[in-house]
């Protein structure tokens, strides 16, 4: 369940054009999660508080800057929370919402209701509008979100599938990995690749040693890329020689704020949570 009331309360604390508060940072940290198989992204503004904070739910390799997605847009100046068929503004999305020609844009909604033009996101489409100066029904709003998510998933389900890019499971063969490295001009010996893959199959933890620039990181990265469908399935995590616990990898509880958890910007924990439900992807 998306915590809409708290999202609005935190948004109302922010002053547009000024720096975002600690409450905003804590809410984002605590709500970076997966909802209905979609990644939850929240923004109160980058550096400075925005007049239109939002909560977006992303899937199917869609991004806020390039794609389509369900999104809550809070137009603070008008006391309006809009659940929308989100459409990216930075780049024109490659996908379109189904029946988008029959949908009403946020820009049209503002014009029909004699409001000034929306500052942003006018090309997104209205799914439902809530007046935030009245008591909101959080349960009902989340039910509306669930319905929109069904439409979102249906939009991609109905798209034709490019068979050339579909995933086909193959038997593991380290020689195929060796061929891939050679094609990429990564020159590793047959014996090294054999020892490397055999070690990982025995125990999925391996320490590589060697001179700086000898290809240790590239070997690990190449192996991850060979196994994965795209770059969103793996992370390269730099750690120092003083790494003695899991905090530099998975974050830690915030001792100053109860129930707050600090997640690292490098995103390892988010990656684990995102792919935890899909056991077919490495």
Which domains are assigned to the chain?
4-157 (3.30.920.90), 174-275 (no CATH)
- pLDDT for 144-184, tens place per residue? 999 999 999 998 886 544 443 445 667 788 888 888 888 88
Predicted local distance difference test score (pLDDT) of residue 164: 39
Predicted local distance difference test score (pLDDT) of residue 277: 66
Q: DSSP code of 95?
A: S
What value does the mean pLDDT take over residues 230-243? 81
Predicted local distance difference test score (pLDDT) of residue 165: 43
Strand duo 68-75 + 261-262: pairing: unpaired
What value does the mean pLDDT take over residues 83-99? 89
DSSP state string for 219-256: HHHHHHHHHSSSGGG-------TT--SSHHHH-EE-TT
Burial class from Cβ neighbours inside 10 Å (0-12, 13-18, 19+) for residue 128 reads: middle
Predicted local distance difference test score (pLDDT) of residue 162: 42
pLDDT(26) > 50: yes
Is residue 177 a contact partner of residue 183, using CB atoms and an 8 Å limit? no
- pLDDT for 183-217, tens place per residue? 888 888 899 999 999 999 898 899 999 998 888 99
Q: Determine the Cα–Cα distance for residues 161 and 168; give it in Å rounded to an integer.
A: 14
Q: DSSP code of 76?
A: G
Predicted local distance difference test score (pLDDT) of residue 58: 93
Q: Determine the Cα–Cα distance for residues 17 and 45; give it in Å rounded to an integer.
A: 9
């Amino acid at each position: 369940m998306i915590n809409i009331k708290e999202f609005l309360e935190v948004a109302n604390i922010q002053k547009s054009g000024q720096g975002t508060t600690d409450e905003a940072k804590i809410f984002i940290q605590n709500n970076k999660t997966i909802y209905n198989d979609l990644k939850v992204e929240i923004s109160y503004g980058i550096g400075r508080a925005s007049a239109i904070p939002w909560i977006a739910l992303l899937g199917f390799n869609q991004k806020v800057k390039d794609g389509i997605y369900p999104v809550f847009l809070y137009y603070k100046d008008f006391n309006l929370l809009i659940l929308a068929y989100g459409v990216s503004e930075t780049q024109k999305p490659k996908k379109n919402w189904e029946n988008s020609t029959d949908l009403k844009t946020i820009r049209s909604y503002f014009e029909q209701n004699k409001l000034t033009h929306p500052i942003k996101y006018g090309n997104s489409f209205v799914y439902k509008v809530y007046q935030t100066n009245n008591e909101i029904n959080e349960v009902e709003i989340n039910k509306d979100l669930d319905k929109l998510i069904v439409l979102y998933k249906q939009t991609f389900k109905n798209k034709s599938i490019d068979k050339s890019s579909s995933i086909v499971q193959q038997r593991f063969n380290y020689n195929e990995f060796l061929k891939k490295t050679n094609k990429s001009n990564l020159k590793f010996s047959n014996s090294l690749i054999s020892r490397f893959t055999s070690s990982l199959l025995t125990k999925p933890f391996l320490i590589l040693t060697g001179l700086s620039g000898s290809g240790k990181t590239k070997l690990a990265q190449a192996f991850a890329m060979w196994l994965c469908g795209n770059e969103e399935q793996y992370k390269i995590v730099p750690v120092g020689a003083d790494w003695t616990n899991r905090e530099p990898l998975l974050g830690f509880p915030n001792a100053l704020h109860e129930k707050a958890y600090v997640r690292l910007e490098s995103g390892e924990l988010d990656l684990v949570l995102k792919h935890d439900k899909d056991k077919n992807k490495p």
